[in-house]
Structure 1
Amino acid sequence: MTAQNSATPTTTIAVDGSTEPRAEGGQAASPEARGTLLAGLGVVAFSLTFPSTAWGLESFGPWSLVAVRSTLAALIAGAFLLTAGAAPSGRGRPRGRVPLPERRHWAGLAVVAGGVVVGFPLLTTLALQTSTTSHAAVVVGLLPLTTAAFAAIRTGRRPSRTFWIAAVSGAVVVLAFTLQQSGGALSTGDLYLFGALLVCAAGYTEGGRLAQSMPGWQVVGWALILCLPLMAVGSAVALCLEPVHLNAHGIAGLIWVAAGSTFFGLYVWYRGMAAIGIPKASQLQLAQPLLTLFWSVTLLDETLSPAAPLTAAAVLVCIAVTQRAKS
């Protein structure tokens, strides 16, 4: 990647709590550079989700982990919304509370909440009870392709034949990998993972659309708040029904999936996606499966099958083709 100038980008925190990359000397980075940095931070945060979930499952049951992580993330989001609204403006006066989303946005927020806040965490957590994180990373490596397909359907665009050939090829490669790993038949964990792909892609697409009309961090915040009543009740019920065995790994995993993946990761991801668009943001996810494979080995001491990195690389090629294919 060729730098356009010699200034080193740094990051400052805006009044509303958002990160704003600036070049040395105080000059603001371009919107595209800022969006790329934010979306990239989201990819790094997401790449740690599966290993953190595996850690969390050492202390919590799957339903407890998902409900508690969403509840904690919603509380963080609520505090963030209140803090941003109470922060002083440039004239030293409070900005006023963050306004409620317009009525026309609530249906889209429900899709984001159902797909990204509840559906994807629940289905992947259930999958990780029987699947390794490296296996899950390869399957979920299809997410950029699935998101691009959902975006094409949602926006009414007609991608080129090359796009669809590459997308189908990536899906076939991952399907062959899952069949080879599970002895010729899809396992229950694989079905959970494929379901997670669909609901997350729908949530990403709808969130990216909403982030064009309202700040991306508010998309995440209100989607989490929308789920808070259900997740709070779910936490109380699940913690009573599932055993809890607290240890350092379990607590660290819970904290990361709540604060890191569910709130911070989605916050910077939607801000970045709004700045550079869904196709370019999806391209940054090329690195996510490989990063997750790295974390699986270093944090969980998993042994990778030879097919895992090869399949991940093949999927990356397919995704790269879809990103370059003209619509």
Structure 2
Amino acid sequence: MNPQTKGLWLGLAGVTLFAMTTPMTRLAVGPADDPQLPPLFVTAGRAALAGVLSLVYLLLTRAPRPQARHLPALAVSAAGTVIGFPLFLGLALREVNAMHAAVVTGLLPLGTAVVASVALRQRPSNGFWACAVLGFGLVAAFALLAGGQLSMADGLLMLAVLSAAVGYVSGAQLAKEWSAEHVICWVLVLSMPLTWPLAWHSWPTQPASLAAWGGFAYVTLFSMWIGFFAWYRALALGGTVRVSQVQLVQPFLSLLFAVPILGERLDTMTLLFSLAVIATVFVGKRMPVNLPAAAR
């Protein structure tokens, strides 16, 4: 098997692991009428345990240590990907089902492109901005049709998208100097002075189901750690441009996984809006973006 093909298969494996994050988080936190693990505990606990695994990996691979100039980017990446995204997602999933969340968070690739264009002072084309506006409009329309109004949960999901986008862009700057695996590991390790006390403070006071603990174990081991290794290795083997397109199927896979894992029903409206968001992201990522003179 040539490296490009292997990269595509690894990329699909990584996206499949990430696609399970939404239904597994819903399983871990439970709905409002049957709460399971506290969202803050799921957020901090999964990062704390993944941080231990990351520390072992960094020691075994003799990874270079971060310098003082790396700390701001590491802090921003941690705030977005370790704390912000999983916390806002967990809080939202107490109020809406996994399918609803999968449609809204399907905007993440486009949201990341928007944040990157602002942070890097790029000049996206009018077509790019049109796709961005259309994508957010589709999500707002879906939320209105699904719930009759824009709810607090929809706001939390958009905050989750923004948090992850900011964290990804900051981490990408670090990946220019380190391997991407080392970036996520250092982000998790340096977050441990915060994540371990938070996990201890938010330890569940009520018993949770075995299924909820299973969801927590999944997002700890696969969503927070192993999934990144598969994904970054795929990008290295198959090329970023080619492999990153596989990520477009992630929202659709999340919808499918929510059926057997949570027993949710996939209706026509949810499916159509998900496909529309995926198509908008696909077109938007192909619109020209003018780099600043220094980058050129």
- Could you state the TM-score of these two structures normalised by the residue count of structure 1? 0.81
1:238-280, Cα deviation, whole Å (9 max, x unpaired): 11xx434243312221111001001112333345456744x65
- Identify which of 26, 46, 63 aligns with 2:18: 46
1:121 alignment partner in structure 2: 86
Whole-angstrom distance in 2 between the partners of 1:197 and 1:280: 23
**DSSP-derived class of the 2:166 partner:** helix
Which structure 1 residue ranges, 4+ long, deviate > 6 Å from structure 2?
none
Say if 2:27 and 2:211, in contact at 8 Å, map to a contact too. Answer: yes
Assess, with a 3 A threshold, how the Cα gap between structure 1 residues 109 and 272 changes in structure 2: closer, same or farther.
farther
1:89 alignment partner in structure 2: none
Tell me the CA shift for residue 204 of structure 1. 1.2
- Identify which of 84, 90, 108 aligns with 1:143: 108
- Identify which of 224, 227, 233 aligns with 1:265: 227
1:159 alignment partner in structure 2: 124
**DSSP-derived class of the 1:130 partner:** coil
| Counterpart check, 1:256 vs 2:218 | yes
| Counterpart check, 1:307 vs 2:275 | no
Unaligned runs of 5+ in 2: 31-35, 290-296
How many aligned positions are there? Answer: 283
Equivalent residue letter for 1:325? M
Say if 1:208 and 1:273, in contact at 8 Å, map to a contact too. Answer: no
Say if 1:179 and 1:186, in contact at 8 Å, map to a contact too. Answer: yes
- Could you state the TM-score of these two structures normalised by the residue count of structure 2? 0.89
Whole-angstrom distance in 2 between the partners of 1:34 and 1:208: 23
**DSSP-derived class of the 1:257 partner:** helix
Say if 1:43 and 1:284, in contact at 8 Å, map to a contact too. Answer: yes
Structure possessing the higher relative contact order (Cα contacts under 8 Å, 6 or more residues apart): 2
Deviating more after overlay: 160-169 vs 134-143: 160-169
Tell me the CA shift for residue 42 of structure 1. 2.7
Assess, with a 3 A threshold, how the Cα gap between structure 1 residues 54 and 227 changes in structure 2: closer, same or farther.
same
- Aligned-residue sequence identity (percent) comes to 36
Tell me the CA shift for residue 36 of structure 1. 4.3
Say if 2:110 and 2:285, in contact at 8 Å, map to a contact too. Answer: no
Say if 1:43 and 1:288, in contact at 8 Å, map to a contact too. Answer: yes
| Counterpart check, 1:78 vs 2:55 | yes
1:169 alignment partner in structure 2: 134
Assess, with a 3 A threshold, how the Cα gap between structure 1 residues 244 and 218 changes in structure 2: closer, same or farther.
farther
Say if 1:215 and 1:271, in contact at 8 Å, map to a contact too. Answer: no
1:61 alignment partner in structure 2: 38
Tell me the CA shift for residue 82 of structure 1. 1.7
Tell me the CA shift for residue 233 of structure 1. 0.5
| Structure with the higher helix share, 1 or 2 | 2
Whole-angstrom distance in 1 between the partners of 2:8 and 2:174: 18
1:199 alignment partner in structure 2: 163
Whole-angstrom distance in 2 between the partners of 1:187 and 1:158: 33
Unaligned runs of 5+ in 1: 1-8, 10-22, 24-28, 86-97
2:178 alignment partner in structure 1: 214
> Aligned-residue CA RMSD in angstroms?
1.9
Say if 1:113 and 1:203, in contact at 8 Å, map to a contact too. Answer: yes
1:61-108, Cα deviation, whole Å (9 max, x unpaired): 2122212111111111111112223xxxxxxxxxxxx22113222211
Equivalent residue letter for 1:115? G
